[in-house]
Amino acid sequence: MAKKYFGTDGIRGAINSKNINGDMFFKFGLASGTYFKSQKKKKQTAIIAKDTRLSGYTLEPALVSGLASAGMHVYTLGPLPTNGLAMLTKEMKANMGIMITASHNPHYDNGLKLFGPDGMKLSDKIEKKIEALIDKKISNNLSSPEKLGRVKRLETGTKQYIKILKKNFIKEFNLRGLRIVIDCANGAGYKAGPELLKSLGAKVIAIGVNPNGLNINKDCGSTFPRKIRTAVKKYKAHIGISLDGDADRIIMCDEKGNIVDGDQIIAALATRWKNKKMLKGGVVGTLMSNYGLEKYLKFKRIKFLRANVGDRYVKEKMQKYKFNLGGEQSGHIILGKFATTGDGLLVALEVLFALRKGKKTSEFFQSFKKTPQLLENITVKDKNIINKPEIKKVIKLAEKLINGKGRVLVRKSGTESKIRVMAESDNKILLFRCVNMISKKIK
């Protein structure tokens, strides 16, 4: 049965819409608090972090109220990267962690990402149980007055997160002599990103660090890599790091101004980890991973599996097959040895650690040749349009045309009201033809 509220990565939508408003966030808090309270009888704790959206100020109090009404004690951390929340949920032995964010989406969207006590994103099974509680009568889950939760603000979240990140590397590791540009997308990593790099001795040029509640992801961050390329060239930096709104994605830029996406980062790390005998099992990508990555890893004799789009599904497949590296072209990369979810700053540190002996960024990312890929995102009223017979027919026709020369993928976005039409092929004429014939039919 399809989920009612949760998508591929939590709950997301336009602020003050059907699901993203104070009333619903109270219900989400009450339902999730009720579920997790029933799993652990002694300590009843939830921690909340958020990105920098203006709407966070309206949604957070409602969420806190719902959790406290369920009997949960709540700690609020303020702006913090998503994986920082996941790490602290585990370290503080909390029942659950909730990140208020819409990730790479514009400021007018917001949402939730929920984590269990192990710092892992929730399974479909648990999300469905919480959804059932959301739809129950509110009075059924309200705590008695003496059992209400207490609420406290913690100001040390960023410092604790940075400390955990640095623990993963040798004490001698430093970035002295490196000039680094970091674009924090005016989002959740605007404090942690520059502080982390400066604490390791780097000369840091920080952009996208002046959030005003409305400029998150606006012409900056991982969805707008032109900004990092321009800055790297201007300041003659050794490397550029570009995060998204909640800092769980990373896109990079080498010293020559070449943009490096998630697939290229994964290829470089997989090669390094294999050579260092750190790679376990192989690599998990997604349905959107470039075909060139698959061919490159095969050449390197590294196993490659595809999961559904969404870092949660990547992590689930990594766990199932005991792989320790996986991720997405968009920059969600999971370093299984260190983290339970994507973390842009952690991935940046792992790359910087590989460069510490003077290797150039462009040399590190010299790996596979990407297969030309064309992606069109089509805004639709009803994403189920792809189930219509005439749409299925044109998709089959495109698949037949490209068979043996590439691949076609048509899927619903898990976070937006869009259909994503993607094709890959070295034959560019065929590539455009296949995408256009499907897109025209959907429009």
Phi–psi pair at 37, nearest 5 degrees: -65, -35
Strands 333-335 and 303-307: unpaired
Q: Which two tokens stand for residue 283?
A: 């690599």
Transcribe 190-233 into DSSP letters. Answer: TTHHHHHHHHTT-EEEEES----SS-TTTT-STT-THHHHHHHH
Alpha-carbon gap, residue 33 to 41, rounded angstroms: 12
Q: Which two tokens stand for residue 6?
A: 């949760």
Q: Which of 65, 69, 103, 413 is catalytic?
A: 103
Alpha-carbon gap, residue 318 to 323, rounded angstroms: 5
Q: Give 443's Cβ-side CA count (13 Å radius).
A: 10
Known catalytic residue: 103?
yes
**Alpha-carbon 8 to chain mean position:** 11
Kind and range of the H or E element at 74?
A: strand 73-79
For the chain, helix (H) and strand (E) counts, in that order, are 14, 18
Strands 325-327 and 303-307: unpaired
Kind and range of the H or E element at 35?
A: helix 22-39
Q: Which two tokens stand for residue 277?
A: 């005998």
Active site residues: 103
